[in-house]
Amino acid sequence: MKKFFKIVGIIIGIILIFIIGIAIYGHFKGKEMIENAKESSRRIINFESKNSDEYMEYSVVKFNKAGDFHTGFIYLNKAVELNPSSHLGYRGWIRLRKIRDYNNALMDFDRLDSLTPNFVDAPWGEDIDFLRGECYFGKKNYQKAIELFNRNIKNQKEDWADIHSFVYLGLCEYELGNYEKSIAEFQRALKQSENIPESYFGMAKAYQKLGEIEKAKDNIVKAEQTIQYKRDDIYNEFLNEIYLSEILEFKHTLNK
């Protein structure tokens, strides 16, 4: 029995030593990580680092996520300077989606495209021609936007392209006064999915312009019924984003 307790005591002692060792290691390792992080930040702040990813990460984590793009761009620009092909896409995406700087976003996308010949870029996971199409849509250059959205569909193929490529085509044709063509484009989106309130809303407005009020009423009801499927992102307001309030307002106008 004494032998048994002795063995148990040895085992417990070993476990305690192991636990204490891990705690001591963790303490010093944690201090080392903190010191390394401080040193990394110092190098970035003083622009001593030659690693573009460090500037990119610092820009995103410290500033861009908080909406301080003015400061964030100081470090993002350095990342682009060191490695343009890796970071131009993100900078262009930020310029488009966050600060609506369409001209400079286009410059970034076009430069990135020139650096990667024979390759279709996807800044931040989105087709580059879709993003360029959004830029031209924001600039109200609807004919150029149509060209880019159609190129995006050609690149990605009809069944794989972002469904809002068709929605944007419908919106562009509507703005150009081509109401029947806009309806045809909205219907292309609905062939991919029946739950596209942007298409129903767009068709309602186009049918109103054509004087087909009953069809306009049918589509505005469908827009209201499918509004929960709208293009939505808690971090971004899209250029083609719609709201229930404007649907109801338009519905009220049609029912007068």
Q: pLDDT tens digits, residue range 35-81?
A: 555 666 788 888 888 999 999 999 999 999 889 999 999 999 999 99
pLDDT value, residue 165: 97
pLDDT value, residue 173: 98
- For 235, half-sphere exposure in the C-beta direction (CA atoms, 13 angstrom radius) is 7
Whether residue 220 lies inside any domain: the answer is: yes
pLDDT value, residue 234: 87
Structural domain total, the chain? 1
Whether residue 153 lies inside any domain: the answer is: no
pLDDT value, residue 255: 86
Whether residue 223 lies inside any domain: the answer is: yes
Whether residue 128 lies inside any domain: the answer is: no
Q: Which residues contact 111 (CB under 8 A, 6 or more apart)?
A: 84, 88
Low-confidence residues of the chain: pLDDT under 50: 21, 24-34
Whether residue 218 lies inside any domain: the answer is: yes
pLDDT value, residue 246: 97
Flag whether the pTM goes above 0.85. no
pLDDT value, residue 27: 45
Whether residue 210 lies inside any domain: the answer is: yes
pLDDT value, residue 19: 58
pLDDT value, residue 47: 82
Domain range for 194: 188-256
Whether residue 198 lies inside any domain: the answer is: yes
Whether residue 245 lies inside any domain: the answer is: yes
